[in-house]
Chain A
Amino acid sequence: MGSPLRREEVAHVAKLARLSLSEDELELFTEQLGQVLEHANDMSSLDLKDVEPTAHPFGLINVVRDDVVRASLERNAVLSQAPDTQDDRFAVPRIMGEAP
């Protein structure tokens, strides 16, 4: 039985997840992820049409705090841990190309 996954799908998912995989990794992951999905076939055969999904064990409700001003983390303490900063902000490489 072949893997339920195609190699091209794995490559696409890697792109979505911002990971670049080597050819060998692509092959290995296609096989290994396929095994997990095959194991999950024990669920796919169940008829659960009328069952509600549960995303959280006790159900989440909105929790709000009183709207009171309080100290947050020191800006410099936070920025000191960033790979790159500029003018009290996180700095990143360019996001868009040069204007024509």
Chain B
Amino acid sequence: MKSAQQTALDVQGGTSSALEELERALSVVRERNDELNVFLHVDQDGARALASTIDERVARGEYVGPLAGVPIAIKDNLCQVGIPTTCSSRILEGWRPPYNATVIDRLITAGAVPIGKTNLDEFAMGSSTENSAFGPTRNPLDPTRVPGGSSGGSAAAVAADMTPISLGSDTGGSIRQPAALCGLIGMKPTYGLVSRYGLIAFASSLDQIGPFAKNAMDAALLLEVIAGHDPMDSTSLPEPSPSLATHVNSGVVGQRVGLVRELIEGADEDVESAVVRARSALEEAGAKVVELSIPEFRLGLSAYYLIAPAEASSNLARFDGVRYGNRVDAEDVTAMMEATRTAGFGAEVKRRIMLGTYALSAGYFDAYYGQALKVRTQMIAAFRRAYEQVDLLLGATTPSVAFEFGSKTSNPMSMYLSDVFTIPTNLAGEPAVSVPFGTGEAGLPIGVQLLGPARSEGRLFAAARVLEIADGRP
């Protein structure tokens, strides 16, 4: 499939048009969406109107933007004016946001054409997209398997060649894990690099919006467009969007890379061997790789599964049947709220709200939430020590290739373990990228993960590009 970069060049140069690119995307959606359940809503009319405007501007000789006429899929926890936004939850079914997320405004300014909203695990809680109230998304590479999650729909949209790029959000791995399972590049940027305004919050101190693409250049172009300070998000970094595309072909000569033992521990053999081959590829390209142990990473899962539910229990308190979404009527306001939430939330969301409420409740606060926050301090310190020795870290993204439907749904803990390698990054607020590198069991793709200190996205894309070349991709 044509890259986002090439699409924008073609549309701007007049050898293609935004409408032509859009219709091609829509025809793939029509062909495959019933089978794969990628999109919950396709905004055909809005997308056509945007595409026509772009074509008119090109005809007038105007420069449209770096993503001129590029169709893009949007995770359905991002608000877009007038477009149903559900978070894959019954509680928000039918709700149409009165405002745009900042990333949507920036995409449109850059010439991109959002074509619709993609399926996710309800409120981004899950690792397989099986927790959606609107049915699971299937992995386009093997429809008997999950696409990963929670941004499974956005990953599947790109893997199925519906759109060249898409947006997801990553709280504990929700971009990187589905990227790995669908054979894509997916990045969780530095916390605060991308505005969260209009991203329906799951765990505010961990959530970050980021790109999916088929190659490092497209991911870098997309991230450049959505990054940069936003006064509407008080946690937004006070600096303009960094230049990233210029770094993609910088290579890794002289870079020091730490292969982290804890980031392959417990991984399947095929995944571990891909990481070892990635190490050789980086070395052959001029990086110096050393082996490291960061024992604090082993505590990440426990800390995360207290911190994220604690924040979620607070964030999801707003879904009470008063200001938006569905309401189940009852005789008084408390009974109405309880009936609304009980009917509106699925099992996993209830589980996490319960866990978070418990961790924050009197008598347990210090033992669970308080202790987790201290572990977070130690995690950040451990990363800092590692980055005194090396420039980047290397490991696996997930313990296995895409798994089969139902294989982890009966035991939440086994599902949570899918995030064991991606969580440390979120706790530290740092960036990391999953890059497809070879295949494993059943010929399915394997993702290797590169991690870097805050604001090292350019360096991460350069290393990702080196792995792409070594993996034989153009």
* A residues in contact (CB < 8 Å) with B: 5, 9-10, 13-14, 16-21, 25, 29, 32-33, 35-37, 39-40, 42-44, 46, 48, 51-58, 60, 63, 65, 73-74, 77-78, 80-84, 90, 92-95
Contact = CB atoms under 8 A, between A and B. Distances in A.
A19 B231 contact: no
Interface string B339-373: 10110010100110111011001000001101111
Given A57-B191, A57-B205, A48 B371 contact: yes
B442 interface: no
Contacts of B351: 29, 32-33
A100 to B, nearest CB: 17
8 contacts: A17-B354, A17-B357, A18-B341, A25-B347, A29-B350, A40-B302, A40-B368, A40-B371
A59 B27 CA distance: 47
Given A43-B299, A55-B205, A17 B353 contact: yes
B144 interface: no
B412 interface: yes
B298 interface: yes
B98 interface: yes
Interface of B: 95-99, 191-192, 205, 231, 234-235, 298-299, 301-303, 305-306, 313, 320-327, 329-339, 341-342, 345, 347, 350-351, 353-355, 357-358, 361, 367-368, 370-378, 380, 411-413, 416, 427-430, 454
Given A19-B350, A73-B98, A43 B302 contact: yes
Given A35-B413, A43-B375, A54-B380, A18 B299 contact: no
Nearest to B429: A57
B338 A20 contact: yes
Contacts of B412: 32, 35-36
For chain B, what secondary structure do more than half of its interface residues adopt (helix, strand, loop), or is it mixed?
helix
A96 B140 CA distance: 53
Contacts of A13: 354, 357-358, 361
A18 B340 CA distance: 9
A25 to B, nearest CB: 8
Contacts of A93: 329-333, 335-336
A83 B322 contact: yes
B371 A44 contact: yes
Contacts of B367: 44
A33 B354 contact: yes
Contacts of A90: 322-323
A20 B343 CA distance: 9
Closest 3 CB pairs of A and B: A57-B429, A53-B373, A83-B327
A43 B336 contact: no
